[in-house]
Amino acid sequence: MLRVHIVGAGVAGLACAVHLAGAGRAVTLYEAAGQAGGRCRSYFDPQIGRIIDNGNHLLFSANRAVLDYLDRIGARDTLTGPPRAAFPFLDLRSGERWTVRPNAGPVPWWVLSQERRIPKTRMSDYLGGWRLAFAGPEDSVADCLTPGDAMWERFWEPLTVAALNTAPREASARLLWRVLRESFAKGESACRPLIARDSLGASLIDPALAYLRAQGAEIHFNRRLRAISYLDQGATALDFGEHKVTLADGDTVVAALPPAAAASVLPGLDAPQETRPIVNAHIRLSAPPQAAMGAGVPILGLIGGTAQWLFLRGEIVSLTVSAAEDLVDRPSEEIATTLWAETAQALKLPAAPIPPIRIIKERRATFAQTPKAAQKRPPARTSWRNVYLAGDWTDTGFPATIESAVRSGRTAARVVTEWSRESR
């Protein structure tokens, strides 16, 4: 049987493998690390004494590709979230709290009510968002909107940084519009927030590995791809150092790797190389906080501080600082002190003593999602006839998120299948 060799067991590689194995294809999955998951990995941290995620990830009910993937691996019920869309916020400087509650349907009538609008914003501020729909390929978010006003500070900037991991003055307006078009523009049912109930690994990774093993897929860890051999415009072998894999005629390869790693084994690949960091903090409280974050939602948007989002899972509080170029090189102890102060204020907890905190720095969390970089995102097909790409950085049309990763894996699986049919 012809085999598909998938290199990289992050979400993109797993999604590709799940689609192909479910269709009866022979699949071999290789991963350089000792575990799957990539940037969505989970592990037991001795300092916290709990299983934590490498980073925090917020999903939306509009993320159809992710939800389909979870259905395939039997893990849809591992997500949790409110029955209706609600996004509580806190301005750390003024102490103001409010909750964004979109209404049902595509017409945003909720902005007509001053009580439902973000404090200090006007109805016309929301209409300005439609300018993103007409953004050109070179336009940044700041080119289309009005930097400095309340709407910018309390909605557009935190949304852009969270969705694109890039400051809005340089972030692609077209990518942000894609987020809005698929979520808020469709109404409440499309933008309900979802998070992993237990861990990202328990939702996205472990069930996928179990599914693949049940389908007979081969899975190899600690296999770092060093090179690909080519002949007559096609790949002929994979070099994993001590392990060499010769490809049979008709075998295919999916490189589900970060852009720099993919470029190192695919000559001529032009991919976005500039990256942006994310810093996450995981804090273990002595008990779940009594103060609710608002609307029964386990997330809280933070304005005017260092972190943009706070996540609560039992007694574990996690904070995310996206586009963290100004933070990532600071000592972890300094970052921990800053983020604990914001947590204590947000959850109305005593400032001392400081509980156990783990700081995680993901220096190359995503590619820099600028207009220039967005235009360099490659398709799934490469110049090599039997080699394909998957990854949230490929041309999915979506920002580099879990949704984009799953879509890229699904697309790679589709084009592999198409090539197999064409080459018969």
Q: Are 253 and 3 in contact (CB under 8 A)?
A: no
Give, in order, the Cα–Cα distances in Å from 34 to each of 37, 96, 221: 10, 45, 5
pLDDT digit string (tens) for 141-158? Answer: 999 998 999 999 999 999
The angle subtended at Cα 163 by Cα 349 and Cα 314, nearest 5°, is 30
CA–CA gap between residue 219 and residue 401 (Å, rounded): 24
pLDDT at 297: 77
Q: Are 280 and 321 in contact (CB under 8 A)?
A: yes
How large is the greatest C-alpha to C-alpha distance in the chain, in angstroms? Answer: 68
Domains of the chain, each with CATH number or no CATH: 3-34+221-273+370-422 (3.50.50.60), 44-82+193-199+275-367 (3.90.660.10), 103-190 (no CATH)
CA–CA gap between residue 154 and residue 216 (Å, rounded): 49
**pTM summary value:** 0.95
CA–CA gap between residue 7 and residue 370 (Å, rounded): 27
Closest C-alpha to 13, from 31, 33, 25: 31
Low-confidence ranges of the chain (pLDDT < 70): 291-296, 422-424
The angle subtended at Cα 146 by Cα 143 and Cα 150, nearest 5°, is 150
